[in-house]
Amino acid sequence: MLEVADLSVCFENVQPLHGLGFSVARGASLAVIGPNGAGKTVLFRAIIGATPFVGTVRWARDARIGYVPQKLDLDRDVPITALDFLAARKTLTAVSDTDISRTLELVGIPPGATRTPIGTLSGGQFQRLLIAFALLGKPNVLLLDELTAGVDAPGQRQLNELVASLQRDQGLTVLFISHELSVVYRYAGDVLCIGGGTAHIGPPRVILTPDLLRETYGTDVDYHIHDH
Amino acid sequence: MEQTSIITFMTTEALFLPIAMAAASGLVGCFAVMRRMTLAGDALSHVALPGIGIAIALGINPLLGAVTMLFFGALLVWALEGQARVATETVVGVVFSVALAIGAMMASGEELIETLFGGAGVLSRGELVFGLAASCVVVAFILTQKNKLVVMLVSSDVARTAGINVRLLDFLYLETFSLTIALGLRYLGALLMGALIIIPAATAKQLARSLSSMLIVATVVALIATLAGTALAGHLHRGTGPFIVTTAGAIFLLSLFYRRR
């Protein structure tokens, strides 16, 4: 679904990504981990064409990307409702009101929450709204940048399960950035670990080792595996 | 003479122009406020001044000079936005303040006051036609592109992956904004037109609970401010711009007491 080769991104004197290469198979799940400033979000922005890069990024011809960003450009006090945001999809994709209702139900947004300004939504509801917008584009790839940041523990679990079920049921290819190594261990098929000037890719059991994490993060990293 | 000018301005035919201008200002202002470009937008309006000065010096229609300079001013803002290494607000502030100074050097005293703050006077047929046509373009752009603008507001990256040409839409919005400024130069002048774009939208942001209600409230506030301000200026035989903006400002202050829950 995605092939990346010799990818480098440079901002003035900083080069967060240098010569990065990896590929993601259709229907696979790839987690991207690394310390703050390692270039995880830069990588996502590069592969969607939002940031200039050197190298090759090749998506499958039929790739339709649904993107859930970490950072929003929006003030939380603007009078835009969830319905305003989702209705915008109608002008971009063939989406009916039934599609919108079904998607809201799928992601777990109560109908009453759709008519209030989006700034009044909780962190979890807002993330669900972004997922709903992405899903209404009928994507076959999801890019999730710290999907559960700012969400309470039960909400995190629900969102992670939602994405896992979407991947399983609809065969979506999922690339996600996370700092929760236990979540990475549980949900990722492969892990791309970037930081400390190095990059490693492989299954969680191979990548999430104390030595490799110390090399990447520059310090010892503790995490608990919930492998059940 | 001034009495005659105001009566001429208020004829039925010429009344369409301030109404159209107010509607365009209200609509375009909503996205300017939500995009947090109020300061850049205000500074952009100053660039009309040297355009008017150059046009007068060359003996051509001042409005043509203003529109041309505003087009290139918006192009400059757009180009700066694409350059991550440049602090856009800083450069915009410097460039457009200098533009204001250059315009002030090129204009005479009374001419300068009218250019800065607007005036009544008899409308030419050309001004009326340009004003109505440009208003229609602005209103049509906002109403047809509002959904894409909303997505871009939430996240330009989400907009990009949803198939929106973010850079093109951004450019078109900035040019629409500059066209709206050109619309109001006649009545509000280069200094005050930015205020008619921003204040009604800021009022609507306080009161509205959805995009459609924000667009409606901003348009209504801009209309009330324009018509009431014009009538008041006519009654007192003074320039229109300050009265329109003061009326809009008073409505904004009132809105602070009735903020949406």
Confidence tier at B5 by pLDDT (50, 70, 90): very low
> Residue A31's closest CA among A162, A164, A223?
A164
Interatomic CA distance for residues A19 and A6, integer angstroms: 4
Does B6 have pLDDT greater than 60? Answer: no
Which residues of chain B neighbour A134 with C-beta distances below 8 Å?
A: 158
% of residues, chain A, pLDDT over 70: 97
Give the E-state strand segments of chain A in sequence order: 2-11, 14-24, 29-33, 54-59, 65-68, 141-145, 173-177, 190-195, 198-202
Q: Is the residue at B261 inside a domain?
A: no
**CB–CB of A84 and B150 under 8 A?**
yes
Distance of residue B230 Cα from the nearest chain A Cα, in angstroms: 30
Residue A194, both tokens: 């970037």
Distance CA B150, CA A84 (A): 8
Cβ-Cβ contacts under 8 Å for B223 (sequence gap 6 or more): B19, B22, B23, B26
Least confident of A68-72, B148-152, B229-233: A68-72
How large is the average pLDDT for residues B34-55?
Answer: 81
What's the pLDDT score for residue B1?
43
Distance in Å, alpha carbon of B153 to nearest chain A alpha carbon: 6
Cα–Cα distance between B124 and A105 in angstroms, integer?
58
Tell whether the model's pLDDT for residue B121 goes beyond 80.
no
Query: A1-63+140-149+159-228: what CATH class?
Result: alpha beta
Average pLDDT over residues A42-62: 91
In this structure, are residues A127 and A151 in contact, taking their beta carbons and an 8 Å threshold? yes
What's the CA gap between A46 and B53, in Å, rounded?
A: 45
B160 part of a folded domain: yes
Give tens-digit pLDDT for A191-224: 998 887 788 898 988 888 888 888 877 777 776 5
Q: What CATH number is attached to the domain comprising B29?
A: 1.10.3470.10
Query: Does residue B17 sit within a domain?
Result: yes
Sheet arrangement for strand A29-33: A65-68, A141-145, A173-177, A29-33, A190-195, A198-202
Q: Is B169 on the interface with A (CB under 8 A)?
A: no
Which two structure tokens, joined as six digits, stand for A79?
């009078």
Interchain contact, B147 vs A137, CB within 8 Å: no
Nearest to B162 among A72, A87, A137 (CB): A137
**How many beta-carbon pairs below 8 A join chains A and B?**
94
Mean pLDDT in residue range A153-164:
86
pLDDT at A14: 78
Task: Please provide the size of chain B in residues.
Answer: 261
Minimum Cα–Cα distance from A13: chain B residue: B85
pLDDT tens readout for residues B166-178: 999 999 999 999 9
pLDDT band for position B119 (cuts 50, 70, 90): low
**Residue B55, Cβ density class (10 Å: 0-12 exposed, 13-18 middle, ≥19 buried):** buried
Q: What is the pLDDT of residue B4?
A: 43
SS3 content of chain B, % helix, strand, coil (to 5): 85, 0, 15
Give contacts of B153 with chain A, Cβ < 8 Å: 73-74, 78, 80
Q: Look up the pTM and report it.
A: 0.84
Closest CB to B157 among A50, A85, A118: A50
| Distance set, CA A203 to CA A176, A184, A193, A208, A210 (Å) | 14, 10, 11, 8, 15
A195: left (phi over 0), alpha (psi -120 to 50) or beta: left
Interface confidence (ipTM) of the complex: 0.83
pLDDT beyond 60 at B260: no
Residue B85 pLDDT = 57
Task: Flag whether residue A72 sits within 8 Å of chain B, measured between CB atoms.
Answer: yes
Q: Which residue has the higher pLDDT, B37 or A142?
A: A142
**Cα separation values, A85 from A122, B30, B146, B158, B178, Å:** 16, 15, 10, 12, 26
Evaluate if residue B109 carries a pLDDT over 90. Answer: no
Of these ranges, A97-101, A146-150, B7-11, B169-173, the one predicted with the greatest mean pLDDT is: B169-173
Q: Quick one: CA torsion of B238, B241, B244, B248, rounded to 10 degrees?
A: -140
* A22, two tokens: 């990896």
Give the total number of structural domains in chain B. Answer: 1
B64 vs B42 pLDDT, higher one = B64
